[in-house]
Amino acid sequence: MPIIDVQHLRKTFVTSVRKEGRLGTLRSLIRPERREMVAVEDISFSIEQGESVAYLGPNGAGKSTTIKMLTGILEPSEGRIEVAGRVPHLNRKLSAYQIGVVFGQRSQLLFDLPVNDSYELFRYMYSIPWDRYRANLKAFAEVLEVEHLLKRTVRTLSLGQRMRCEILASLLHEPDILFLDEPTIGLDVVAKERIRAFIEQINREKGITLLLTTHDMQDIERLCQRTMIIDKGQLIYDGSLQRIREHYATERQIRVTYEEPWLAEAAALLFSDQQVKARVEERMLTLSYDQHAADTSDLLQTLITHTKPRDLTMQDENIDALISRIYREGLTHGEPPSRPEAQLEGAVR
Ligand SMILES: Nc1ncnc2c1ncn2[C@@H]1O[C@H](COP(=O)(O)OP(=O)(O)O)[C@@H](O)[C@H]1O
Ligand SMILES: [Mg+2]
């Protein structure tokens, strides 16, 4: 049985539109014009226990709204949600015991108090027995390297320090599922890496189910076996990152460095009549080609048999660029599919 099951989820917000000018303001007050906006159009998916899933999409796609519905903060307009066997917004309190949630842009710690005080508040709210609380706090604080921060006032922490404390807070009650909404946003490389390593560890060792939104491709590569992409409130892809790569990352580059520039020039001649673009710059030869048109192992074979490379690296189109291409172009190149989710074979569960 899936631990998260979402069927035809929809969320609309009704906002009042304010007219321009003084008269407009007055009119808006007397008879406000209401407009319905669709944040989540129609989304279905299920997640098994222990899975680690990236939930991706451009700004405004509906990611945070989905997470708020999954955690019971918002009530769906239509559709069905079950998280750990419960309907989150109807059982908010009970659901909370099984769910941890971190919003990168919002703090659950009390800003003017020491970190420890917030933790004790959570201990009380979740009725965590003292011994479990102490054991969890000690273990997580050690791995997240926040022991020295516990007595500090939250507002004096750096963003990276605070984020580690936030994540700890979300885990004190040992939830089965952790929702992370942009946990690495605004962090430097080192801080990101620390958080990733920790999240990876709790997923692996404790089997915690993860749903993560992020704009950082390294987060996904490191943490998520499965990727869901939404756009305008609809799921447009559900499958592995690898499959996206195979389908879309058609461009690949091989960079070869030689001892001397003339060796690079000579090597380039080997590729003059193929589907490969060869460019020489000093001692470096760069081969660019469409992976569906030329075979990587053939090219490597040619390079190694006929030339003496000093160094060789390979690079695929950046996944970030690739995903924004998917947003723009849809799932096929050109023609939009009638059932977008069915485009990639076996992509939809
Ligand atoms: N409380 C709200 N009231 C009105 N509109 C909202 C509210 N929350 C989100 N929206 C709108 O819903 C859409 C989806 O927002 P959100 O889920 O935050 O996107 P994402 O997290 O993918 O960037 C956006 O157009 C946003 O402006
Ligand atoms: Mg968001």
Read off the pLDDT of residues 211-247 as tens digits, 9 standing for 90 and up: 999 988 888 888 999 999 998 999 988 998 888 777 7
Burial of 272 (0-12, 13-18, 19+ CB in 10 A): exposed
- Choose from 14-23, 30-39, 135-144 the range with maximum mean pLDDT: 135-144
On average, the pLDDT of the chain sits at: 88
Q: What is the pLDDT of residues 71-124, one digit of tens each?
A: 999 999 999 999 999 999 999 888 899 999 999 989 999 999 999 999 999 999
Predicted confidence at residue 62, as pLDDT, reads 95
Domain edges within the chain: 4-8+42-245, 250-316
Give the pLDDT band of residue 30 (cuts 50, 70, 90).
confident
The two structure tokens encoding residue 223: 């943490």
Average the pLDDT over 297-322 and give the result.
87
The Å distance, Cα 344 to ligand 2 centre, comes to: 26
Average the pLDDT over 11-38 and give the result.
86
Predicted confidence at residue 338, as pLDDT, reads 35
Q: Is 214 in the pocket of ligand 1 (CB under 6 A)?
A: no
Say if residue 266's pLDDT is above 90: yes
Report the CATH architecture of 250-316: 2-Layer Sandwich (3.30)
Q: What percent of the chain has pLDDT over 90?
A: 66
| Closest ligand to residue 231's CA | 1
Predicted confidence at residue 28, as pLDDT, reads 79
Say if residue 334's pLDDT is above 50: no
Please give the number of the atom of ligand 1 that sits closest to the Cα of 59: 23
Give the pLDDT band of residue 282 (cuts 50, 70, 90).
very high
The CATH H-level superfamily of 4-8+42-245 is P-loop containing nucleotide triphosphate hydrolases (3.40.50.300)
Higher-pLDDT residue of 138, 34: 138
Is the separation of the CB atoms in 158 and 190 below 8 Å? no
Say if residue 293's pLDDT is above 90: no
Dmax over Cα atoms in the chain, in whole Å? 81
Q: Is 111 in the pocket of ligand 1 (CB under 6 A)?
A: no
SS3 content of the chain, % helix, strand, coil (to 5): 40, 30, 35
The Cα–Cα gap between 246 and 243 comes to 5
Give the pLDDT band of residue 249 (cuts 50, 70, 90).
low
CA-closest residue to ligand 1 atom 10:
39
| Closest ligand to residue 62's CA | 1
Is the separation of the CB atoms in 229 and 56 below 8 Å? yes
3-class state of residue 338 by DSSP: coil
Is the separation of the CB atoms in 173 and 97 below 8 Å? yes
Q: Is 57 in the pocket of ligand 1 (CB under 6 A)?
A: yes
Say if residue 63's pLDDT is above 50: yes
